Structure formats: structure tokens, C-alpha cells
Structure 1
Amino acid sequence: MIKLSHVRKNYNDEVNVGPVDLEIPDGGITALVGPNGAGKSTLLTMIGRLLDMDEGSIEVAHFDVAKTKSKDLAKIISVLRQENHFITKLTVRQLVGFGRFPYSHGRLTAEDEEIIDRYLDFLNLTELEDRYLEQLSGGQRQRAYVAMVLCQETDYVLLDEPLNNLDIAHSVQMMKHLHRAAREFGRTIIVVLHDINFAARYADYVCAVKDGAIVEFGPVAEVMESEKLSEIFGTDIEVIDGPWGLLACYH
């Protein structure tokens, strides 16, 4: 379980996140949704200790994120940020292999190589493993980044807008991969999403953030209500229960 207790980040007198009290259960996908600037990425990066909090505490699997040694935390939480600045002369296999660094410290074993193979295959990257990142499409490159964080084999995976710059087809493909990863590998995946309909289709829980506060949290069906979404996003939204599940329609 991920537990945030009175977590706050102060940017200035007008922009603050928190105080946030939140418990995210283990297993499945939890989607962080809300308007731009709501504080979704801030919360995610504080959970992953990529950003210091000003108040409060965060526990992941009963480990205090602020006090746990980095080498130990890297075996508990893996994080994919929005911006990735890897050298483009890396091959796909080399990139994915970075996920094994907390265990191998750069000296890959036969077991590490098997694990790399597993995630290259899982993300349909085996045929691309010797390609350089600069030779990949945006969708292929994003799959390689996700394979890298999955290769770290942490129970908790944090993804900040993994659908950024992906078209609809590649976004659907990515969410299917994440949905499978949560179930087949038993991961707890926390993902920042802009499109509420991707959250409705593929997430197990939705955490809605607005003005730096958690305004709704629960199973998808509890949050996907017209009145709630209209309030969260500040526009008229009608939720329809269709043949493919709940769908938010904007008016």
C-alpha cells in the first residue's frame, strides 16, 4: 500500500499541493486524473522521491520514502518521468538493461539478461532490441522506456503521462500493456493520465486531483459520474454506460 499522510508541497503563496491524505491499495492500476496544473505529477514525483515534500510523510510498502536508502528504494519503486533525456546512441536493449542497475550495478548476469529478454518480449521489442533510440518512432521509444521501468522489477511502478505524444492507436496499445503488466506480474501501477476515458477503460481506481487537493478517490464506477467529473474538470461531462464500458462525453 502507498500511504500519504498530510503531504504538502509549497511553491508560492498561490500555488500549493496538499495537505494530502491518501491510501492507494496494492494491485492493479490507479489513475491520477484532473485538470492541467492540478498537482498530479507533483504527487507522483513526491511518491517516487524525485521531489521533496515540505510537510508530511509517504510510506510505500511500509517503507518511509524520505528515510529509505536510495539503493533499497530502487528495489521498491520504479519511476518513469515525462521528460527522458537518454543518449540516443543507446540501443533498445541497452536502455532496458538500465532497469537492472539496482541489482547488477552495471555488470549484467545471465539472470539479468533473461529478465531483459522477458520485458523486451512483453513489450514487443525483441525485433527492435539492436536499434538505436533515435531510429525509433515515438510509440516504440515510449514502449522501450516502459520496458526499462518494468525490468527494474519493483512492486510499485510510477508513470508520469506515459501516453504523452502518442496517437490514439499507440495509446490504446500502451494501456493494454500496462493492464497486462499489473495482472501478469502483480505490479501496483500509478499512472498520470489526461484522458479520463483511458482511466475508465483500463484503471481499477481513479484518484481525481484539483487545485492541489484530492477531490475524489475510489473504484472507477464510483468516480465516473457525470456530476463529479463536471465539477472536477470544470465543464459539462455526461457519462454514458455503453457496450465498451463507461464513457465520458464532453459538451
Structure 2
Amino acid sequence: MKILNLIKKYGKQTVVGDVSVTIPKGQVTSFIGPNGAGKSTVLGMITRLIARDNGEVMLDGQSLEAYKSNDLAKKLAILKQSNHHHLKLTIRELVSFGRFPHSAGRLTPEDEKQIDEAIHYMELTDIEHKYLDELSGGQRQRAYIAMVIAQDTEYVLLDEPLNNLDMHHSVKMMQVIRKLAHELGKTVIIVMHDINFASCYSDYIVAFKKGRVAAAGKTEEIIKKQVLEEIYEMNFDIHSLNGQNICVYY
């Protein structure tokens, strides 16, 4: 995926200014940066959920605008922050929505197989008939990830998937996300606030500051004291633990 010269303005305010970056295939790429840096807005423009004022997104050599909506939904899936878990749906019913681009609501045996596999992958088989409003935050997040897996797209975009999760469930979620790329071959893009989770589970990092790309590269190239201090304008110490760079900021 190539992102070329993206610009987004709201009135006179430029919230994304001339963003260009290439996303590597089959890897986990994290978008990091301070609040208001433009991370989620760029993610929205990549998926056509937010109209862009300028620029282009190339998906496998073809402009995003060339894809019909249903064809794009077979290629790219997004999970936004706000999910309506008050809807009276079971886990299985929710996950089945991921098959809509393929079946238009008329589930085939192949669709049922994909749903079964997604539910199993997220370790939800024993509770697949529970309603969303009966679930813990961690279970509910796993259910939404299962829906994305069932959609069976090459590209998976997740906007702050660790929101409202405790440490245990956050670790489990990031392990699953990494497996999506490294076992299932998905190209995963995540908007993240926790730099240490980005450090431990990302292959590639794009750091944003004031609506622009401040730095982009392999994880070990970005998780450095000088780079992070420039982006976040605060002090960092970097420590190595089991081969991973861990950040302490103050």
C-alpha cells in the first residue's frame, strides 16, 4: 500500500498535511504519535470513511478510487473505536456480518466455515451464542476481531484495538494481531497510543506529529531515545529486555 501526499482540512485547520508513506505487506505497522497528530484521520482516509482533500492511496498498484465498494470490502477491513455493543446480537451473529461482502446476507457453507474458523481462532467457540451486552470488554473486542477475520481481507486496519482492555487482554490481543500478519499473511495497520506495545509487536512504525509523518521505518529504527523525544517532546529512557526496546518516559 502506498499513501501519497494525503491532505485533510477542517475549515482553515489542516489536520493531515502532505502525508506520504509505504506500508509493507504481510507485516504489522503501527501508527503512533501524540493525540491530535492525525493517525486516525489517515486511517479513515485509507478506507474511504473520511474524504480526503488531496492525495492518493494505491492498493496493490491500483488507486483506491478504482475499487467498487463491495470489491474494496473484500480487500480491506477496518475496525473503528466506537462499536455498538448494545445491539442485541450474539457473537456468531456479529461475526457473520464479516461475510456480507461475499454473501450479501445469504450465508453459504463456505461462509459458515469462515465464521467457524474466525470464532475458533479468537477462542470464542464456547460462548458464540452469548449476546454482546453479556460479554466482558476483552471478550467483546475479540468478537469484533473475529468479525474482521471472517471478512477474510488481505488488509486489516484497527483503530486503537486496545481501548478499555486490561494488561492481560491487551497482551492477548496483540499476540493475535501479530499472528494475523505472520501466520495468515495479512497486512495489518494499527493506530496505537502505547509505545511499548508498538515496540514489542510491530514490524514497522509510522510516527506522526502535527498531521505529518515525523519518522517511519522498522521498529528498531523508531524506538530510539532521540526519535521519540523529538516526536513526543518529553524525556525517554530506552531499555533492552529479551531483545525488545522498552520505553520509560517522564
Distance apart, 1:244 and its partner CA? 5.2
- Determine the structure 2 residue equivalent to 1:96: 95
Is 1:21 the equivalent of 2:12? no
Determine whether 1:217 maps to 2:244: no
Q: Which secondary structure does the structure 2 equivalent of 1:190 belong to?
A: strand
> Aligned partners of 2:85, 2:24: CA distance in 1, in Å?
32
Could you tell me how far 1:114 is from its partner in structure 2? 0.8
Partners of 1:96 and 1:139 lie apart in 2 by 16
In structure 1, what is the equivalent of residue 167 of structure 2? 168
Q: Distance in 1 between matches of 2:8 and 2:229?
A: 26
Distance 1:187 1:98 in 2: 19
Q: Which residue of 1 aligns with 2:199?
A: 200
Q: 1:111 matched to which residue of 2?
A: 110
Structure 2 partner of 1:46: 45
Segments of 5+ residues of structure 2 without an aligned counterpart are none
Looking at structure 2, the residues matched to 14 and 107 of structure 1 have their Cα atoms a distance apart, in angstroms, of 45
CA offsets 1:171-215 (integer angstroms, 9 cap, x no match): 001000111111111000000010010010000001000100001
Give 3-state SS (helix, strand or coil) of 1:144's partner: helix
Please list the CA deviations of residues 199-251 of structure 1 after superposition, one character each: whole Å capped at 9, or x if unmatched: 10000001000100001101000001101101111110111112251101112
**Deviations, residues 121-178 of structure 1 (Å, cap 9, x unaligned):** 1111101100000000011001100110111110000000000111111100100011
Measure, in 2, the Cα distance between the counterparts of 1:149 and 1:62. Answer: 23
1:90-132 deviations in whole A, cap 9, x for unaligned?
0000100100000010011111111111110111110110000
Aligned pairs for 1:118-129 (under 5 A) are: 118-129=117-128
In structure 2, distance between residues paired with 1:62 and 1:95: 32
Describe how 1:131-210 pairs up with structure 2 within 5 A.
Answer: 131-210=130-209
In 1, distance between residues paired with 2:72 and 2:17? Answer: 24
Question: Which residue of the partner structure matches residue 227 of structure 1?
Answer: 226
In structure 2, the residue corresponding to 1:82 is in which secondary structure? coil
Equivalence for 2:11: 12
- The alpha-carbon deviation at position 78 of structure 1 amounts to 0.3
Q: Which residue of 2 aligns with 1:73?
A: 72
5+ long unaligned stretches in structure 1: none
Q: Secondary structure at the match of 1:94?
A: helix
- Cα distance, 1:217–1:195 mapped onto 2, change above 3 Å: same
Q: Higher mean Cα deviation, 6-15 or 205-214?
A: 6-15
| 8-17 or 53-62, larger mean C-alpha shift | 8-17
Report the Cα distance in structure 2 between the residues aligned to 1:243 and 1:101, rounded to whole angstroms.
42
The one-letter code matched in structure 1 to 2:64 is V
CA RMSD of aligned residues (A): 1.1
Instruction: State how far apart, in whole Å, the 2-side matches of 1:18 and 1:75 are.
Output: 29
Please tell me the residue identity of whatever aligns with 1:102: P
Using the TM superposition, name which of 204-213 and 12-21 deviates more.
Answer: 12-21
The sequence identity of aligned pairs, in percent, is 47
Q: Which amino acid aligns with 1:150?
A: I
1:27 Cα deviation after fit? 1.0
Query: How many residue pairs are counted as aligned between the two chains?
Result: 250
Range with greater deviation from structure 2 (80-89 or 135-144):
80-89
**Distance (whole Å) between structure 1 residues aligned to residue 204 and residue 42 of structure 2:** 16
Distance between the aligned counterparts of 2:162 and 2:65, measured in 1?
29
Secondary structure of the structure 1 residue equivalent to 2:66: coil
